[in-house]
Amino acid sequence: MPTSLNLSGYFTGSGSPPVTAIILAMLHLLLGIGGLYGGSMLLIDPTGELIGFSPDILERIGVIDSFLLPGLFLIIVMGITPLEIVVALIVRKRWELMTNLNPLKHYHWAWTASLILGIILVLWLSVQFWLIGLQHPIQAITGFIGISIIVLSLLPNVRTAYRLSA
């Protein structure tokens, strides 16, 4: 099994990204597609019934009266953001704003964003489980994706691939 894919025309780091970085990008792609889908369904039907939520969930949560805000969160944070991260992980896109916001200056901002988004996803799902419990298998699958994003981001070969030269 090869240890890296030939993406040298796209990956502007030193050589091609490791296979684990490609898997990381694919997980972000899955997350982004799921975030756009789930968020769109909640915007179309803020009651959540369209995706199978029972009406009593909003009553149990007690903080919100519709799934409109969670839908917007899903579209922006779990939909658009991971898709941008996919592009940045593959082409190591330079984006001055993100570079300036990056707290870990010795790593490309896409690596930092990947790790942070994985943590946000796990926290989001933890709050979700606490508020409404496990409603659908997709929650567990998404939790696995979040944990995998964190683990893959922290692998030494992925960290090395996104480490910036001094």
- 74's CB contacts (< 8 A; 6+ apart) are 35, 36, 38, 39, 42
Q: What is the tens place of the pLDDT at every residue in 57-97?
A: 888 777 888 989 999 999 999 999 999 999 999 988 778 88
Q: Tell me how many degrees the CA angle 98-118-82 measures, rounded to the nearest 5.
A: 55
Q: Is residue 81 part of a domain?
A: yes
- Report the alpha-carbon distance of residue 135 to residue 70 in Å, rounded: 15
The CA-atom distances, in angstroms, between 9 and each of 6, 51, 107, 114 are 8, 41, 21, 22
As for how many domains the chain has, the answer is: 1
**119 assigned to some structural domain:** yes
Tell whether 4 is covered by a domain: no
**Mean pLDDT, rounded, of the chain:** 87
- 11 falls within a domain: no
Range of the domain at 63: 19-161
User: Any idea what DSSP says for residue 18?
Assistant: B
Cα(86)–Cα(25) distance, integer angstroms = 5
Mind listing the pLDDT tens digit for each residue in 23-45? 999 999 999 999 999 999 999 99
| In-domain check, residue 49 | yes
123 within domain boundaries: yes
Give percent of the chain with pLDDT exceeding 90.
58
Q: Do the domain assignments include residue 3? A: no
